[in-house]
Structure 1
Amino acid sequence: MKNILQIGFGPLGVQIGKYIAQKKTVKTLAVVDIAPSLKGKLLSELDEDLPTDVTIFSSVKEAVEDLKVKPDVAIITTVSSLQKLIPQVEEVAKYGIPVISTCEELSYPWKLQPELSKRLDDICKTHNIACLGTGVNPGFLMDYLPSVFSSISKDIEHITVERIQNASPRRIPFQQKIGAGLSIENFRKKEATGTLRHVGLQESVYLLASSIGITLDEVTESLEPVIADTEVASEAIQVKKGEARGVEQIAHGYKNGVCKIKMHFKAAIDEPRSYDKVTIKGTPNFSSEIDGGINGDIATCAITINCINSILKAPAGLQTMRSITVPGFIN
C-alpha cells in the first residue's frame, strides 16, 4: 500500500482524492489546504465518495506530525507557477517525501527557467527525494506521447502535435483559464497579465525536442481568442456573440531557421470536434489521431496517480516524464 499526502484540495485535488479512494494499492493519509474553511474537516464532509477517516490540515508540518505513518509520496495540485511551487516542494522535501505535481511549468522547466530549475534540483538532492511534474498536457499528449511515437522513426524532418478540444465538459477553473465568456478587451487585459493561457506549451516543445535529440535555437508562441459567432454556453459560463469562447495557441520550435516542431492547442466552449493528433514527417511518414480527444481532467488525475511507482524508483533530483521509468496503471 502506497500512502499519499495530498496538498491542495480544489477541484483537481478532490477528483484525485476520489480516484485514490477507488484504488486497492494507494491510500490518501491526509490532505493539506490553506483554506480556513477546510481546516479540521474530514474528506467525507466535502463529498460522500471521499474517505471518512482522512483529515484536512492547514500545513504540511501539522499533517506529518499528526500521522503515525510517513507518506510515501506527496501529490501537489496547487499552482501553475514554478516559482510559487518551489517553497511548497521544499516544505515537503524536509520530511524526505518525494513529490508529484500537476504544476504545468514543472513539466520541463530547464530551458525557460534554468535558475529556478537548478534551485529545485538542489533542494531535492539535498533531501534525497525526486520531484516530477506531470499531467495530461503538459506531461503526456503533446510531449511524452509524440516522444514515444518518435521511437519508431528512422529519421525525422518535422513533428506536428495538435490538441483541439471542446471545453464545455471541463472543470470551471479550466474554462476560466482559457478566457471563456470574456469580452475581447478583457481577454487581452488578462492575457497581458499572463493569467489567461494554456500554461506549458513551450515546455512541451522543449521536452519533445530533448526526447528526439534536437537543441532548438528558438521557440515562438502565439495566442489568440476563439471568438463566438453565436451565443454558446457550458453549464457554468454563458458566452455572448463576439466574446471569447476559448483560446488558440500555436508554438513553433526552430533549428537553424527550420521549423522542426509545431504545436497547435485550441480549447473553446462548444468546439464542434475534439481530437488529439500527432503527425511525423520522416521515415516513415505517419499520423495518429485520437478521435474525440482525451478528457483532460480525467487523464490528469489518472496519470498523476499512475506515476507514483515511477517516482519512487527515480533518483533524487528534478525529474521529467522523459527521465522516469515508464508509468503504468495502478490498481
Structure 2
Amino acid sequence: MINVIQIGIGALGKQVLQYLADREGINVVGLVDLNPEMVGKSIGDIADTKNSGVTVQKSLADAINNAPEKPEVAVLTTVSSIEKLVGQVEGVAKAGLHVVSTCEELTFPWEQHPEAAQKIDDICKMNSVTCLGTGVNPGFLMDYLPSAFTSVCQRVDSVTVERVQDASVRRIPFQQKIGAALTHDEFQAKKEDGSLRHVGLPESVDLIAHAMGWNLDENRETLEPVIAKEKITNGYKPIEKGNPAGVEQVGSGFVNGDEKIKLVFRAAVGEEKSYDRITIKGLPNITTEIDGGLNGDVATCAITVNAVRSVTGSTPGLKTMLDVPVPAYFSKV
C-alpha cells in the first residue's frame, strides 16, 4: 500500500482524487487546498468513496500532522508553471515525500527552464526523493509514446505526432483554455499574453530530441485559431460561424535546418474526427493511429495515479518519463 497526500483539489484534482481513492494499493492519507471553501471537507464529500477521517487541510504540515499513516508520495495537481511549482516541490521534498506533478512545464524542463529544473533536481537529491512531471500530453502521447515506438527502429529520420480533438466532450476549463467561443480580438489578446495555449509542446519536442540524441538548432512553436465553418452549439456556449472554435499549435524541432520533429495539436469544438496519430520515418517506417483519440481528462488522471508507483522505484532527483520505471496500471502493491 502506498500512502499518498494530494495537493490541489480543483477540477482536475477532484478527478485525480477519485482515481486515487478507487485504486487498490493506494491509500489517500491527506488532502491540501488553499481554497477556504474546501478546507475541512472530508474525502467522502469530494469523491465517491467512504469517509476515512481524512479532511482537506490548508497546509502540507497540517495534512502530515493529521494523516492516519505516514505519507510517502505527494500528488501535485496545482499549476502549469514550473516557476510557481519550485516552492511547492521544496516543501514536499523537505517533508521526505516523492512527487508526482501534473505541471506541464515539468515534463522535460531542462532546455526551456534550466534554472528551475536545476533547483528542483538539487532539492530532491538533497532530500533523497524523486520528482516526476507527467500527464497524457505532455508526458505520454506526443513525446514518451513516440519515443518508445522508435525502440524497434534501426534508423529514425523524423517523428510526427498529430493530436486532433473534438473539444465539445472536454471539461469547460479546457474549452476556455483553447479559445473556443472567443471573438477574434479576444483570441488574439489571449494569444499575445500567453494565457491561450496548450502548455508543454516545446517540452515534448525537447523530450523526443533528448531520446533520439538530436541536438536541435531550433525549437519552434506556432499558434493559430481554428475557425468555425458554421454555427456550433454543442460546446459550453454557442460559437458563431467565422469565430474561433479552438486552437491549432505546431511544435517543430530542427536539426541542421531539417524538420526532424513535428507535433500538431489541434483542439476545437465541433472537430469532425478525433484521433491520435504517430508517424515515424526511418527503418522501418511506422504509422499508428488511435481512432477517437485518448480522452485527455481520463488519461491524465490515470497516468498520474499509475506514476505513484514509478516514483517510489526510482532514484533521487528530477526525472522525466524516460527515466522512471514504466508507469503501467497496477491493482495492488
Which interval holds the TM-score relative to the shorter structure? over 0.9
Deviation readout 1:244-270 (Å, 9 max, x if unpaired): 111000111001111111111100111
The 5-angstrom pairing of residues 280-295 of structure 1 reads 280-295=280-295
Partner of 1:36, secondary structure, is coil
**Distance of 1:271 and 1:136 partners within structure 2:** 20
Maintained 8 Å contact 1:17/1:50: no
How high is the TM-score relative to the length of structure 2? Answer: 0.97
Corresponding residue for residue 163 of structure 2 = 163
How big is the shift at 1:235?
A: 5.2
Give the match's secondary structure for 1:92. helix
- Give the letter for the 1:58 counterpart: K
The residue type paired with residue 198 of structure 1 is H
What is the CA–CA distance in structure 1 between the aligned matches of 2:249 and 2:256, rounded to whole Å?
Answer: 23
2:282 alignment partner AA: G
1:305 is the counterpart of 2:301: no
Q: Displacement, 1:291? A: 0.8
Deviations 1:124-161 (A, max 9, x none): 11111110000000000000000010111110111111
Q: Distance in 2 between matches of 1:236 and 1:279?
A: 33
Show the 5 A alignment for 1:118-129.
Answer: 118-129=118-129
CA-based RMSD of the aligned residues comes to 1.1
Task: Identify the residue that residue 330 of structure 1 maps to in structure 2.
Answer: 330
> Quick one: distance in 2 between partners of 1:44 and 1:306?
22
1:38 Cα offset (Å): 0.8
Q: State the Cα distance separating 1:43 from its structure 2 match.
A: 2.5
- For 1:206, the aligned partner's letter is D
The whole-number CA distance in structure 1 between the counterparts of 2:116 and 2:265 is 26
Equivalent positions of 1:154-233 (< 5 A) are 154-233=154-233
Contact 1:248–1:267 (8 Å) recurs in 2:
yes
Whole-angstrom distance in 2 between the partners of 1:313 and 1:234: 44
Matched, 1:321 2:321: yes
Q: Any idea what the Cα deviations from partners look like across 1:70-127, whole Å, max 9, x if unmatched? A: 2111000111000011111111111100000000000000001111111111111111
Question: Structure 1 pair 222/3, CA: closer, same or farther in 2 (3 Å)?
Answer: same
**Contact 1:246–1:269 at 8 Å: present in 2 too?**
yes
Q: Which runs of 5+ in 1 are unaligned?
A: none
**Residue deviations 1:214-239 (CA, integer Å, cap 9, x gap):** 11111111000111122213452322
Deviations 1:268-310 (Å, cap 9, x if unpaired)? 1111101101111111112111111000000000000111111
For residue 139 of structure 1, what is the amino acid of its counterpart? Answer: G
Corresponding residue for 2:255? Answer: 255
**Secondary structure of residue in 2 paired with 1:208:** helix
Q: How many residues align?
A: 330
Q: Which residue identity is paired with 2:51?
A: T
**Does 2:27 align with 1:19?**
no
Cα deviation, 1:163-222, whole Å, max 9, x if unaligned, reads 011111111111111111111100111111111100000100000111111111111110
Indicate whether 1:56 and 2:56 are aligned: yes
Unaligned runs of 5+ in 2: none
What's the CA shift for 1:319?
0.3
Is the CA contact 1:21–1:51 (under 8 Å) kept in the aligned structure 2? no
SS at match of 2:168: coil
Which amino acid in structure 2 is aligned with residue 214 of structure 1? W
Secondary structure of the residue aligned to 2:169 is: coil
Equivalent in the alignment of 2:44: 44
**Do residues 269 (structure 1) and 239 (structure 2) align?**
no
Structure 1 CA distance for aligned equivalents of residues 3 and 50 of structure 2:
14
What SS does structure 2 have at the residue aligned with 1:196?
Answer: coil
- Tell me the residue number matched to 1:33: 33
Letter in structure 1 aligned against 2:101: S
Aligned partners of 2:151 and 2:166: how far apart in 1? 30
